[in-house]
Every structure is written in structure tokens, then in C-alpha cells.
Chain A
Amino acid sequence: MATVSERGALQEPMVQVRKPPQFYIGRALLYALLIACSLWFIAPLIWMLMTSFMPLSQVGVFPPEWIPRVWQPENYTEALRFWNFGVTFRNTMIITIFSLAGSLISSTIVAYGFARFRFPFRDVLFLILLATLMLPFAVRLIPVYIVYNEIGWVNTFYPLVVPEWFGNAFFIFLGRQFFRGIQQDFLDSAKIDGASELRIFTQIMVPLAKPAIVVMAILSVQNSWNEFLGPLIYLKDENLHTLAIGLYKFTSLPGQGGMQHQQMAATVMMVIPVLAVFFLFQKQFIQGANLSGIKG
């Protein structure tokens, strides 16, 4: 691109200027920095994956080794002997699916209410909604726990699922922004055709809002999968443990002290599904992060 011949330069009205050497030094530095940063973020995960296949004799050596001397997939089967992965996986899936359904249905409905209808105190209510996003969870934690304890919900999945059915404040914010961006013309013609508000919502608006709903879905799954404090407090019974709690308890199991290779195998098993979802829905992940910063 920068090596334009004399004749070429003469023929074209716009002369391609040879870039100064500083430009290439700058670019080289830029890519060196990008690679260094990528390594910083990715190295821990690569190390985790490699360690999960190593023999015990290879962990805890200095300098650390990256490639397993002997590949030992049996670390995984060994880890599964200690950790009831199946049960914790099932529990996590139950919580994830019911939270997902609840937060999507309720948040979409509420978001539409805020976006499309005028009613007294609407703006005050929406302001309160934004304020709850900033309310520290510590203030809610204890009274809510006591109530759940009173009504016998400790050691059930209800405390982790039921609140999701009353709308997630952030998802409502997201959905409202989206619904407000949809053209009004659709609605007018539908109304003239005599469609009820409920039909307009379910048959026109929800399909249109699919992009926003997909972002909500991904954030919801990620929340349920990663949630730690809630399951820690509410799910005391071992049969109810989630993946996060199971993995945390794994280190304290008898015979697990120093079994780093098996602990890493267990960690990989928990991380793989999340990474799979991330790579499938990368665009929506980025969008979700993006939307939390939008000006509205």
C-alpha cells in the first residue's frame, strides 16, 4: 500500500503518501501491547486447562510447567468420584431455567408497561426502579432471609427463583429502552384492526423485541450460573447444592488438600458450559455489556 511506483503516483490524482517510520513503530508497539494484554487475561485459563491434565507429581513445581508430561484424563473421572457433578448440575439447571422463564416474562411485560402507556406516577416509579439498581444487596439480605426462614423456604430453590418472577430492574430498563425505539405506526394500524392491547403485546411487540430479550436471557443465565452468596445461604442441604457451591466445597473434601490437578479438572467442568454459551452468543454478550452503558 505504501509502495506506490512513480508511475502510479503520477496516474492517480490522490498520491498515496508513504507513512513515516514512526507509524510502523507505533503499530508494532500497539500489537505487542495487545498480545501482552491478551496473555494476561488468557494465561490463567490456559494454565487451569493444562493443570487439569497433569499428573500429581507435576503440580507445585517451580518454575511452573505448562505442558502435561503425561496426559491424564483420569483426573476428571477421579474428580467426579469426589464431587457429585450430576446432582449439582441438575440443581443449577433447574434454578437457571425457572429464573430465566420468570425474569424474561415479567421483565418484558413490565418494560412494555413503562414504555407504551401513560399513567400517573409513571416517571416517579421508573426513577425508583433505577434507584433500586444502586441499592446494596446487603440491606435486603437479612430481612429477606428471615422471612424465607419463617415460611420454610430455606433449603428450597424458591428464594433463588421466585423474586425473578417479579421483574429484574436492569432487564426492565433494557426492555423499556428497546420498546421505546419501536415505531408507533405498527400499533396504530393494529389498533384500527381491533387488536386488543394484550394481542398487540404478545403478537407484535414481543416478536419485535427479540434482540433485547436474547440479551436479557444471556445475562439471566450467566447470573444464575455464577451466583454464589444466595445458594450459599439458602441451600444448606448437600442434595440441593449448585455447581458454584459444589466447586467451593470440593476443596474442603477429605483427601482433596493439595489435589490441585483434580481441583482444576473440577473447575474446568464448571467453566466449560459458560464458555460454550459465550462463544455461541458472543455478540449478545457484548451487546449486553454495551447496553448497561447506553445513554437513554
Chain B
Amino acid sequence: MTATFGTQLRGMKGKRERWRDLSPMRRREALYGLAFVSPWIIGLLLFSLFPFVASFVMSFTRYDVINPPVWIGLANYQEIFSGDSLFLKSLLNTAYYVVGSVAIRIVLAFSLAMLLNSKVRFLGVWRTLFYIPSTVPIVAISMVWIYILNARYGLLNWFLSLLGQGRIRWLSSPAYAMNGLLVMSTTWVGVTMIIFLAGLQNIPEEYYDAARIDGASWLQRLRRVTLPLITPTIFLNVLINIISAFQVFNQVFIMTQGGPRDATRTYMLHLYNHAFEFLPPQMGYASALAWILFIILFVFTAIVVMTSDRWVFYND
């Protein structure tokens, strides 16, 4: 997908066609094309562009849905950066979750894909077993994991006790609650794994054969052949996982409601509380929070995309 993005961007330079230069036949074609894509253009204006601009404007207002919005300038932003202790707390919690879950999930998904790519028998069966939890609705997963992470009788503590580890209060202690959610996030790496597997299967076998003839060890083949060639896939997966991890909400809302002592209060939960749980609702404030999130994500994406020239190798 990101490769498409790059190709598009490169291909656009220098070929601009003006309407009046088009032949009647090409005009007909253009009209057909526009007619076909018009549903999406309308949708873009209604459901993306309008809300995008509107939330920016709203972030400078106080708005409780019942009374008309009041322009208050930068007051929301001042409040967020100076008066809202939960803003920083939730941002740090989210950052912790993003770093932890992206790192764990990328390494895990890549390792699983490597396992599956090593000419195993019953590939389809293993792949299915690894993929199943990724199809289960997050509400259902959360319901099950509330009990799995239970300190007294949960499966996870039972499993750890077999390894000689004492009980951990996963969801009830501020120190471990977020880690509990990180452990849980390892169970739905299916999509990331499949994308990695497809990437690995695209690497020509001859490269490995050549490396083997040169006497390269397994580790050297991994470092010198696999990793460089799989960088576009890593890039895509890191990007997808960062964007979704930044907006983590459902499991936190269902399992902990941000507790204990705000240890799992994530950015989206904080935003949700201001918009949909506070009375009166603080839509302007929540919009300001949304825009700060957007800018953070935009900067992150830009960094990943811009540094990608240095570490992503496109073989095309």
C-alpha cells in the first residue's frame, strides 16, 4: 500500500492534462470516470473533509451540544497544556502502550511468519490456529481476558506459577495493569503475521541458495538477506500498528475504565470521557484533544515515512 503511495507520488510529476486540451472522446471518458468515483468524492467531503475542518474550528470553542458554541480562542489548548493533569498522564500511558505493543507485536508476528515460512508441514493448519484470535471481536476477547488476567485464579498467573513466578496483580495494580493489556495484545497479531508471511514468500529462493553456497549461517542469512528484503513489509506493519495502537480504546473501556488510579487511562479514553461522558459534554475540548492526537500521529507518520528512504529497500 505504501509502495503504491510512493509510486503514485513519483508518477504524478509532469503529466498534467487540462480539460480544454482533451479530445471529445477523452472528455467523455473523463466524465465517465468522474461519474464512477463521485460517490466516494461526496463521501470524502461529507465524512472526512468536513469533519476534519469542523473539528479544527470547534477546538477553539466551548460547546455542550445544547447551547450554541462559544468562541474561546486558545483556551482549550491552554487548559490542556497547563491545567489538565490527565492529559499528560494519558499521553504517557498511550506512548508506553504504543512502544510496548508495536515492538512486541512486530517481533512476535515476524517470528511466527519465519516459523511458518521454514517449510513446515500442515502450514494451513498452523496459520489458522495463529489467526483465529484475530477474528474474534474485541469485546469477546476482553470479556475472556478479564478472567485470564485475574490475580487470584487467572490462567496467566496459573501459567506463570508453573514457571515458578509468584502471583501478579495484572489488572488491579497500577504498576502491572498496562503490562496486562500488552500481554493480551499479543494474541491478535494474525493480520500482521500474514502480511509478513506474504513478504517472506516473495523473497526468491535463489538468494538463500547463493548465501548458503557462500557458507552463510542461519543468522547471517537472516541479517543479510531476509531483513533487508523484508523492510517494505516491516515499514507497512510498523505504520499500521502505530496508528492503531495510538488509538487504543475498546479493551481499556471494557476492562479497566482507565483504572486502577488512571494507570490505563489512554488518550482515546480521555477524549471519549470529555466528549461523551462528562456533563455537560465538552465537545470543543475533546476536539482540541483530537487535533493534538492528529498532529502527534502526523509527525510520527512523517518521521517513519521520511526516514524510510534510509532503511526501506524497494526492489522495483
Contacts and interface: CB of A to CB of B under 8 A. Distances in A.
Give the most central of A112, A128, A166, A251: most B CB within 10 Å.
A166
A42 B129 contact: yes
Q: Please report whether the interface of chain A is mostly helix, strand, loop or mixed according to DSSP.
A: helix
Nearest to B233: A293
A60 B153 contact: yes
Interface of B: 1, 3-5, 7-9, 11-12, 17-19, 26, 29-37, 39-44, 46-48, 50-52, 54-55, 58, 63, 65, 112, 115, 118, 120, 126-133, 135-141, 143-145, 147-148, 152-155, 158, 161, 186-187, 190-191, 194-196, 198-199, 232-233, 236-237, 239-240, 243, 246-247, 249-250, 253-254, 268, 271-272, 275-276, 283, 286-287, 289-291, 293-294, 297, 301, 316
B43 A41 contact: no
Contacts of A267: 140, 143-144
Interface stretch (A11-19, A68-76, A93-101, A118-126): A118-126
A251 B136 contact: no
A48 B144 contact: yes
A142 B194 contact: no
Contacts of B139: 226, 228, 244, 247-248, 270
A160 interface: no
A43 B155 contact: yes
A48 B34 CA distance: 51
A182 B132 CA distance: 32
Interface residues of A, number: 98
A142 B290 contact: yes
Contact of B48 (A45, A120, A135, A278): A135
B194 A139 contact: no
23 contacts: A30-B118, A41-B130, A42-B132, A106-B40, A110-B36, A113-B34, A119-B29, A120-B30, A125-B41, A126-B8, A127-B8, A135-B52, A136-B294, A143-B287, A165-B39, A165-B43, A228-B138, A229-B249, A247-B139, A282-B128, A292-B1, A293-B198, A294-B1
**In the A-B complex, the 4 residue pairs with the closest CB atoms:** A166-B43, A113-B36, A117-B33, A293-B195
